[in-house]
A and B are shown apart, each in its own frame.
Chain A
Amino acid sequence: MSFQLAVFYAFALILVFAALRVITARNPVHASLFLVLAFVTAAGLWMLLEAEFLAITLVLVYVGAVMVLFLFVVMMLDINIDRIREGYWEYLVPALVVAGTMLAEMTLLLVGRSLRLEGMPAPAAKAETYSNTKELGRLIYTQYVYAFEIASVILLVAIVAAIALTMRRRKDSKYQDPARQVVVRRADRVRIVAMKSEKPAAPAAPASEQAAP
């Protein structure tokens, strides 16, 4: 068994384990941390396929940003763990149906004769100067430019819609205008008064205090 194959099986085992724990872990924070592990392992598998741009972007976007915000929300939930378990058996049957359908579809694709995956030659080794990122960038901005731009516009619409739906400006909330804050000068806030220094009045005879200790 070659080294790469050994690495593949190790990563695949970890990935399957992490994915299983995502749905079986009792604590939602643990479940989302296992999801992070699954993402990182999947990135490792993509790296084995020499898709380094996709692999690193998966870590950068999903692990570095999306899952952080996800954890942010999950941590603030006050979840009673027993209550989550309640509908377990009710959901089991539909879940098994969905899983069975997906398994059947994948089997049709991968095992069926129509695609002839077993007869497919391995892709040719790339030259030393081949840059995955550069090639992807070139394709996105030339051949697939319309699809790419439309996808980004859809995402932009989703962002604007999400903000528009959730933003409520309360009438009684107080906020500062930074532009007005920075033009403030000392004279607007403080008045410096010239006055003569005064001698403090002589303290009263501390006879009683001396007697105290």
Chain B
Amino acid sequence: MTDTAQAPIVAPRSGPGSAGPWLLTWRRFKKHRLALVSGVVVLMIYFVALFAEIIAPFSTETYSANYTYAPPQLVRMFGTDAEGSTHLFYVNDYTVKIDPISLSRAFETDPNKVIPVGFFVRGEPYKLWNLFDWDVHLFGPQEKGHPFYLFGADRLGRDVFSRTVHGARVSMSIGLVGVTISLLLGIFLGGISGYYGGWIDESVQRLVEFLKSIPTIPLWMGLAAAIPPSLDPLMVYFWITVILSLLGWTDIARVVRGRFLSLRTEDFVVAARLDGCRQQRIIWRHMVPSFMSHIIASVTLAIPGMILAETALSFLGIGLRPPVVSWGVLLKEAQNILAVSSAPWLFLPGLAVVIAVLTLNFLGDGLRDAVDPYAR
């Protein structure tokens, strides 16, 4: 307590020492370099997911029988093509040798054949967000029909890079949607548990303990297997998120409950109550804002778990199924060790998973450290 008896009451939020809680959080967060960088990467991944159609050079289903299991091409700079004109970016074309016995294709990059790569090139038409017809891609081969496989091709000659970019939309959004459902459940159940206490608290806590004691993956598998395979892909997506959040809300509920318990007796809450505020107002105007930052941190830490769970389920073939493209669905292609030993680039979608999970973890860690601006 400051000695308010002598000093006149100072208007709040004036001068450098009284920055708002969000500004203080931001200042602390900025010091955490790794978290800051991770935050930028996470934003970039979501940006890619949002504009997948533009960023991916091809659609998810574009296939080419000539380029099955074609290895990744390297983007090179300053290449001269057959006509003698120089291109800033280019990739080398393949020369294909077909093995006469096994009929498998052996690819070699041909340094003399230059495929110019450009930005904002016209390629396959698509419908952005199912709304706008367009055919401009962020980058791609300047001439339609030329092979352009940054991450190589899969068994049908589909571009793994394009599919990974499209997969980001499903995989990253399933984390967000799942966490939103978990958050609503968690705040609601954790909130009544911490606010009311007594038998409500007791039963919610037992429920949390019960859910935590079941091994999640067998249960998820059981629930996911119950989704009929004939269901519309969108509904499958919906049910998978519901299944994931059914078990995912418990951690958030614990955080919310803990905050409610400790805030219930805080001076400002007691003051608000004595001022005659309605209960809803106390909860939403006084208590929730004061632990919102904690919620954001634990939500960020919950997303990677969801992404991993979806990937695992789809990988096993009981989550999302083709034609839906998610990182898990893509990794299912890598399940066959024989295919992978000749085409290890099928692992590349896994790299996307690792980067997404890693950066989300770092971001969440940084946020958690930064959220308590008044501590210490």
- Are A and B bound to each other? no
Interface residues, chain A, with chain B CB atoms under 8 Å away: none
Interface residues, chain B, with chain A CB atoms under 8 Å away: none
